[in-house]
Chain A
Amino acid sequence: MSASAFPPPVPPGPQVRAVTDEFHGDLLEISMGPHHPSTHGVFRMQATLDGETVVKLKPVFGYLHRNHEKLGENTSYLGSMPYTDRLDYFCAMTNNWAYALSAEKLAGQAVPERAEYLRVILAELTRLLNHTCLAGFLLQDTGASGTPLMYAFREREKILDLFESLSGSRMMCNFQRFGGCRTDAPADWLARAGQLVDGYGAFLDEFEALITGNEILLARTQGVGRLSAALAVSAGVTGPMLRATGVAYDLRKVDGYGIYPRFDFRVPLGDHGDTYDRYMIRVLEMRESIKILHAALREIPAGPVMDPKAKLRGFRPKPGEAYGRIEGPKGEIGFYLISDGGANPYRYRVRPPSLVNLTILEDLCLGHTLADTVVILGSIDIVLGEVDR
C-alpha cells in the first residue's frame, strides 16, 4: 500500500472523522469491537467506510494476550498441557493432541494403538462440535437470532457430556499425555459415543433442512468474501477455509499422522471460495467425520492407553527441536519446541490457525458492506483465546 493510495493515510485522532477528498465525499472510520457481539470475543475491526462500502479494514487484537509462550517456557513440558486447553477453548482435545504429538516427535516417544484410536475419536468429535457451533454462530451473524444456535448448542452439549465423563471436564479436558492418553475409555463410554454418532447424521439432515437452502442465507453468503486459491496458499490459510477455495490440503491425508491412513474418508473441496462454500465445506466435513468415527469406534482394539516407557513428570527430551502439526477443526495447529535438555522447553511456540487465517480478513472484506464483514469474520472461524495467546 503506497502512500498515494486511496483512501489517503489516516491521521491519528478521533474515531469518527471527515476525510478531505471532495469528490468521494466523507469517509467514516468506525471501530467495531472489542465489545461487539459479532466479533466472537475481544476483537476489533477498524473499518473505513465509503458510504456502506468498506475501503479499508485493519484487525486489532491482543486484548486477551497473556504471553502463553513465555508461560510455556517457564514451566515443565507437562505443565503446559492443561494450558493448551485455553488456546482454542472449543477444541481442547485437538490442542492437546497437537502438543502431545510435537513433544512425542521431540522425544521420539511411541504411542500405543488404543490411544491412537481414542485420539482420533476425540479429535473427530471435536470437529463435529466445532463445525456445528460455527454453523450456528454464522446464522446468528446473519441475523437468525437464536434458533439455529440453540440446536447447535443442544448437540454440543451431548458431546461435552461425553468429554466430561471421560476427562472430568467439559471444555478444559487436559486429556492427552506424551505417549498416550490420561485415562482409558470404559466400554459404556464407547457405547454412548457410538449412540451419539449414530444419531448425528439425522441431526445434520434436520439442521441442513433448516438452513442450507435458506434464501436469506444464500443471499447473505453466496459471492460474499471470495478468496482465491493463490492468495489462500500464499497467506498460509489452512483448514476448511483453504479447502473451500479448492486446494486439496488436509493434513490427515498429507501427513497421515496418527492412524488416519487407515480410515476411508474424502476431503470435500469448494469451488468458489466464498462464505457459502466455507459453510458447506464444514457441513460436508462433518459427514466425513461421522464416517471416521463409525470406523474408529468399530475397530478400536483393547490394550493400554499409555506407553509403558513414557515419562510424565521427568520428561526431559534430548537437545533438539521439533515442529509437529495436526489438522485441527480450524486449520493447522502446530507446536514448535526447542529442547536444551532441561525440564522446561527452551522455546515453546504455538502456530495458531485462527491468527494466520485472519491475515486475509481485509482482502475478503474490501468492497463489501459493513454488514457483510460480520458474516465474513464469522466464516473465518476465529477464537480469540488462540489469536491472542
Chain B
Amino acid sequence: METAEQLRDRLQAQFPAAEIAVVPNPGPAAQHSLLLGAAHARAVALFLRDDPALALDYCSNVTGVDWLQAGYLEAVYHLFSMARPQGGPVVIRLRTGNRTDQVTLPSLTPVWRSCEFQEREAFDLFGIRFADHPDLRRILMWDEFVDHPMRKDYVEPDDYEWEPTAHHEVLAKARPPAPAPPSGPPEGTPP
C-alpha cells in the first residue's frame, strides 16, 4: 500500500491542475488523509477507483465533520479495495468554502453507489449540499425540518409542546403572569 505522500505525488502527476494535499493524522492510528479540491474531486475519485494498482472499488464510510473554529464543513470518505484487499483505509476529504452559503461539494455517488444514502445523511445532518446527487433529500429527519442538527452550533428549538402536571414548579411555570400594576392615576381622581 502506498503512503499518503506517494499517493499524493502520483495523483498530482496525473492531475497537474488539481489541488491535492496530505492532511496528517498525529494520532497512533496514523490514518493520514488526502484533501482534494472540489473542482477535480470526481476525476480524482474515478482514478482512485479504476487505477489497477489501487482498485479502491469500495467506499465504506461517508460522513460530514463540522469544524466550527476553522469555519468550514468537511465530507470524509473512507475507501477500501475489494478487488485487492490489503491495508487501508485511503481517506479523502472535501472541504466547503464556509459554513453558510458555500456548502456545495461534488457528489461522489456516481463513482461509488454506497455514497447515495450516506451523502443524503451528511446533507440532512450537516447541511452539505452534494451537486449531482441523484436524490438529495432528507433521510433521517422529516422533510419539513429546517436546520441541520449535527452542526456544532445547532440550538434545539424551544417549541416542544408540554402539558403541566401537578407539580409545584410546573404549576408555577404554567400560571399566567401576574397582571401588571395599574399605571396612570388611580380611579376616582378628578381629571
Chain A residues with a Cβ under 8 A of chain B: 1, 61-62, 65, 67, 69-70, 105-108, 231, 233-238, 247, 249, 254, 317-323, 325, 332, 334, 336, 338-339, 347, 349, 351, 355-356, 358-360, 388-389
Given A233-B57, A233-B58, A334-B61, do A317 and B27 touch, yes or no (CB 8 Å)? yes
- Whether the pair A359, B150 counts as a contact (CB closer than 8 A) is no
CA distance A191 to B112 in the complex (A): 47
- On chain B, the residues within 8 Å of A237 by CB distance are 114
Given known A356-B114, A356-B117, contact A234–B25 (CB-CB < 8 A): no
B91 near A359: Cβ-Cβ < 8 Å = no
Given contacts A351-B78, A355-B121, 10 further A-B contacts (CB under 8 A): A1-B134, A62-B139, A65-B141, A236-B60, A236-B114, A317-B27, A318-B27, A318-B28, A336-B63, A359-B117
B83 surroundings in chain A (CB, below 8 A): 233
Cβ of B85 within 8 Å of any chain A Cβ, yes or no, is yes
Partner pick for B27 among A235, A319, A347, CB 8 A cutoff: A319
Interchain residue pairs with CB less than 8 A apart (23): A65-B140, A69-B125, A70-B149, A105-B28, A106-B29, A107-B28, A108-B27, A234-B57, A235-B113, A236-B58, A236-B59, A236-B113, A237-B114, A249-B58, A317-B27, A332-B60, A334-B60, A336-B76, A339-B27, A356-B118, A358-B117, A359-B114, A360-B113
Q: Is the CB of B58 within 8 A of A106?
A: no
**Bound CA–CA A384/B109 (angstroms):** 23
Contact check, B26 vs A322: say whether CB atoms are below 8 A apart.
no
Check if A323 sits within 8 Å of B91, measured CB to CB. yes
Interface residue B12 (Cβ < 8 Å from any Cβ of A):
no
A126 to B175, CA, bound (A): 53
Candidates B29, B85, B114; contact of A235 at CB < 8 Å: B114
Q: Residues of A contacting B104 with CB < 8 Å?
A: none
| Least CB separation from B24: chain A residue | A320
Contact A323 B78 (CB under 8 A): yes
How many contacts A-B (CB < 8 Å)?
110
Contacting residue for B26 out of A62, A234, A319, CB 8 A = A319
Q: Which residues of B contact A (CB under 8 A)?
A: 25-29, 31, 57-61, 63, 65, 76, 78, 82-83, 85, 89, 91, 112-114, 116-118, 121, 125, 134, 138-142, 149-150
Q: Report if A234-B149 is in contact (Cβ < 8 Å); known contacts: A62-B140, A322-B31.
A: no
CB-contact partner of A355 in B29, B85, B117, under 8 A:
B117
Q: Is the interface of B mostly helix, strand, loop or mixed?
A: loop
Is the pair B140, A359 in contact by a Cβ cutoff of 8 Å? no
CB neighbours (8 Å) of B59 from chain A are 236
Question: Nearest chain B CB to A5's CB is how many angstroms away?
Answer: 12
Distance in angstroms from B100 CB to nearest chain A CB is 20
Q: How many angstroms from the CA of A107 to the CA of B28 in the assembled complex?
A: 6
Nearest CB on B from A114, distance (A): 23
A249 touches B61 (CB 8 A): no
A337 CB to closest chain B CB (Å) equals 9
Contact between chains at A69 and B150 (CB < 8 Å):
yes
Closest to B115 in A: A236
Q: Which of A235, A323, A351 has the most CB of B within 10 A?
A: A323
The chain A residue sitting closest to B69, CB to CB, is A340
Q: Which residue of B lies closest to A347 (CB)?
A: B65
Q: Contacts A62-B142, A231-B113, A236-B58 given; indicate if A320 touches B82 (C-beta within 8 A).
A: no
A331 to B153, CA, bound (A): 33
Q: Are A351 and B150 CB-contacts (below 8 A) given A234-B112, A234-B114, A356-B114?
A: no
Q: Is A318 within 8 A of B61, CB to CB?
A: no
Q: With both chains docked as a complex, state the minimum distance between the C-beta of B94 and any C-beta of chain A, in angstroms.
A: 15
Set of chain B residues within 8 Å of A107, measured between Cβ atoms:
27-28
Q: Which residues of A contact B65 (CB under 8 A)?
A: 338, 347
